[in-house]
């Protein structure tokens, strides 16, 4: 598999096989991803690899918080406070694709809630990755982290694994930090589901679209 193939094949996977991922393979992915660039080689990534009983315990707490109506309190503002086009249009289309694929109707709030709750279980993937940042680091490290995350996902694709990057896993940072004994002032950026794709699952059958280059690029000759 070359880089182009990995880029085009990667997708957000939301259903996984009940198949463990060897620790040595996870270490390989993280080693390869660690070659991502970072400003002055700061390498700001701090990764928690959660599986087995630790994952079961953590996801139980996160899902319970969500179902109990606990207000999300992430360490930073991921999305805009007020959505505008074209971003709100793309966001709406993304949601419609998933719910349409799963035949979840607009007025079926219970099924919508149940589907969203799967976020807090990392879609039942065998591995939940959580990404932390030292609070002294600034906005540039968020750029560095994005390159690390993409490198990790492409490495996973190369090795036959599937991923789903997840902002939702950072909705309740106080629960995550307490459960995993991270400092309260550390920044929980996001999480990621990691495992082997369940290719028979309907939710994995759709793909989101991408804008044409002409829509987001300007060339200056």
pTM of the model: 0.95
Mean pLDDT (whole number) for 140-144: 98
Whole-number pLDDT of residue 65? 98
Q: Give the CATH number for residue 61.
A: 3.40.109.10
Residue 50 within a domain: yes
What would the DSSP string read from start to end of the chain? --HHHHHHH--B---B-S----HHHHHHHHHHHTTS--GGG----EEEEEEHHHHHHHHHHHHHHHHTTPPP--SS--S-SS--TTHHHHHHHHHHHHHHHTT--TT-HHHHHHHHHGGGGGGG-SEEEEEEE-TT--HHHHHHHHHHHHHHHHHHHHTT-EEEEESGGGS-HHHHHHHHT--TTSEEEEEEEEE-B-TT-GGGS-------HHHH-----
Residue 216 within a domain: no
Residue 82 within a domain: no
Which pLDDT band holds residue 152 (cuts at 50, 70, 90)?
very high
Q: pLDDT tens-digit profile of 14-58? A: 999 999 999 999 999 999 999 999 999 999 999 999 999 999 999
Which pLDDT band holds residue 72 (cuts at 50, 70, 90)?
very high
As for how many domains the chain has, the answer is: 1
Residue 110 within a domain: no
Range of the structural domain that residue 197 is part of: 3-76+120-206
Residue 89 within a domain: no
């Amino acid at each position: 598999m070359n880089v182009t193939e990995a880029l085009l094949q990667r997708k957000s996977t939301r259903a996984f096989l009940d198949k463990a991922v060897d620790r040595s393979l996870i270490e390989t992915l993280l080693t390869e991803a660690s070659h991502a660039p970072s400003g002055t080689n700061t390498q700001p990534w701090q990764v928690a690899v959660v599986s087995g009983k630790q994952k079961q315990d953590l996801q139980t707490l996160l899902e319970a918080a969500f179902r109990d109506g606990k207000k999300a309190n992430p360490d930073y503002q991921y999305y805009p406070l007020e959505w505008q086009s074209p971003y709100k249009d793309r966001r709406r289309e993304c949601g419609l694709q998933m719910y349409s694929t799963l035949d979840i109707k607009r007025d079926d709030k219970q099924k919508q809630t149940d589907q969203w709750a799967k976020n807090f279980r990392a879609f039942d993937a065998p591995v939940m990755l959580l990404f932390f940042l030292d609070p002294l680091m600034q906005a540039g490290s968020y750029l560095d982290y994005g390159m690390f995350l993409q490198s990790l996902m492409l490495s996973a694709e190369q090795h036959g694994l599937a991923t789903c990057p997840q902002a939702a896993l950072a909705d309740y940072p106080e629960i995550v930090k307490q459960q995993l004994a991270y400092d309260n002032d550390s920044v929980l950026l996001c999480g990621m589901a990691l495992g082997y794709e369940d290719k028979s699952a309907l939710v994995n059958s759709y793909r989101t679209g991408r804008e044409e280059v002409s829509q987001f690029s300007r060339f200056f000759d």
